[in-house]
Amino acid sequence: MNGFIGMDVGTSGTKAVLFSEKGEILNTAFQAYALEQPQNGWAQQDPSDWKNAALQTLRTLAQNCAGAVIRGIGVSGQMHGLVLLDAHNTPLTDSIIWCDQRTGDEVQEICRVIGRQKYIELTCNAPNTSFTLTKLLWVCRHLPEVYAKIHKVLLPKDYVQFCLTGKFATDVSDASGTGYFSVRERDWCSEILEAFEIPRQWLPQVYESWEPVASISRETAAYTGLPGDTVVCAGAGDQAAAALGNGILQSGEVSISLGTSGVVFSAVDTRPMTRRGEYILSATVCPGNGTSWA
């Protein structure tokens, strides 16, 4: 019997589920970690906590696999977080995560440099404090010594995938919430990168969610006990993955998630627009901070 693992790098912990080919749940594993809030409105996490939790949950499932031969892993996770790696692929700082609200000035900077409506046209999103771009601009302004050492910029789940495979990759759904991705072109937005002098080589290769990225590394196989040819797919942002799992496939179907944030997610045939002319991909309600469109 073949088995497949779905993993979610969440805000409070990482959960991994082992499924059979028929979709039956064979086993689950979970490991919690801390959320740091050094100032009001700030939210940070240590990327090494995600790495350790991912490896430990995979090890638990490999040891309790119910006779299944594990063939593949799909990783989802919290969106928008900023993970900065140096030339040795070591995190430079804690990750500023999705619910952090320190970047109001950077939202205004985007509107000044790009123009709000132009930015919406480029990304199908309005500039927002949750997006990865505003966090990156905040680091540039407030932590120039860190910014000068950046070698790679990743999202949370993509950092975990790098730790598992040694390859830098992201998927289109998670990339759409960075603030520097063209949804229409399904690639990084050159105009935004150039406007803020963000080197394209800092960013990972973009895949469709279902595409295989790489097999796990020898180190991952040795630690977890998984087969060395276990394939890791590009995966998805948590809300996109949850909507698919809930069967939100046809236009007009809607899921509502009330967790750490509140999210209304709908399948559409064409991109809907608000009265203000903003394209909507999903609506995320952050506690105490109104609604963000991502």
Check 49, 158, 238, 269 and give the catalytic one.
Answer: 238
59-63, 118-122, 192-196: lowest mean pLDDT where?
Answer: 118-122
Q: State the SS3 of 2-32.
A: EEEEEEEECCCEEEEEEEECCCCEEEEEEEE
83: helix, strand or coil: strand
Respond yes or no: is residue 171 known to be catalytic: no
Q: What is the pLDDT of residues 230-261, one digit of tens each?
A: 999 999 998 888 888 888 888 888 888 777 77
pTM for the whole thing? Answer: 0.90
Q: What is the pLDDT of residues 73-111, one digit of tens each?
A: 999 999 999 999 999 999 999 999 999 999 999 999 999
